Amino acid sequence: MSAVLEAEGLQTYYGKSHILHGVSLKVQEGELVALLGRNGAGNTTTMRSVMGLTPARNGHVRIFGKDMTKWPAYRIAGAGVGYVPEGRKIFGHMTVHENLLVPPDRAGHWTVATIYELFPRLYERRTSKGGKLSGGEQEMLAIARALLLNPRFLILDEPSQGLAPVIVQEVMRMVARLKSEGTAILLVEQNAFLALQVADRAYVLSDGEVVYDGSAAELAADTARMNSLAGVSHGA
């Protein structure tokens, strides 16, 4: 298996605040990796550093075997990395369909037509404004937009945030399906229990450091260790 992402020794700051203290993680081709941790542990910052949005001051980011450490975010996205940020960031004043026309074309399986097959609900809502959608529909739209780049690697920041449990299950099933179709995924989740059901491997961050790196099943089976590692939530 070759690595889709190799992040090594990331040290990231916001001004003088030192947030990541040498974070290293790997995602292999076709793998679904969960990144877990308490609020403020540094999960979003890790993703932003990988995407070149808040570049690490020290450390290296290799994606698809290429050193992209100094690349700006748009180039990393253009290379085939889809990023669904925390809080979704869809265009509320535009319709669902207009939102789907925003991403630049990158040839591949995902087109607006195949997206509507994957998410029939988005097709039904295609003339509704983004701001009128439910939380679950907004999440689907945010994921759909990232998929239109036909990413080989997808980064998802808390897709279940603020969603009803039944919708969360649906989003997780969709994530598992994308993985089964060959997309490598890095998934940040507060809901460790659900993330570990679909993930192959997991990392747990605490105060900007990796405190667990191993199999998802092993971590899921060891409730005591889950609690002691990061106090991540278990409920659906």
Ligand X SMILES: Nc1ncnc2c1ncn2[C@@H]1O[C@H](COP(=O)(O)OP(=O)(O)OP(=O)(O)O)[C@@H](O)[C@H]1O
Binding residues (CB under 6 A) for ligand X: these are: 14, 17, 19, 37, 39-45, 86
- Looking from the CA of 58 toward its CB, the CA atoms found within 13 Å total 8
**Continuous segment of H or E residues that includes residue 59:** strand 58-63
Binding mask 68-87 for Mg ion (x = CB under 5 A): ------------------x-
Q: Minimum distance between the CB of residue 38 and ligand X, rounded to whole angstroms?
A: 7
44 sits near Mg ion (criterion: CB under 5 A): yes
Label residue 95 exposed, middle or buried (CB < 10 Å: 0-12, 13-18, 19+). Answer: middle
Q: Minimum distance between the CB of residue 14 and ligand X, rounded to whole angstroms?
A: 3
Q: Minimum distance between the CB of residue 54 and ligand X, rounded to whole angstroms?
A: 8
99 sits near Mg ion (criterion: CB under 5 A): no
Q: Of the two residues 46 and 69, which places its CB atom closer to Mg ion in the complex?
A: 46
Q: Minimum distance between the CB of residue 44 and ligand X, rounded to whole angstroms?
A: 3
DSSP summary character for residue 234:
-
Q: Of the two residues 115 and 210, which places its CB atom closer to ligand X in the complex?
A: 210
- Concatenate the DSSP letters of all residues of 92-158 into one string: TTSBHHHHHTSSPP--SS--HHHHHHH-HHHHHTTTSBGGGS-HHHHHHHHHHHHHTT--SEEEEE-
Contacting residues toward Mg ion, per CB under 5 A: 43-44, 86
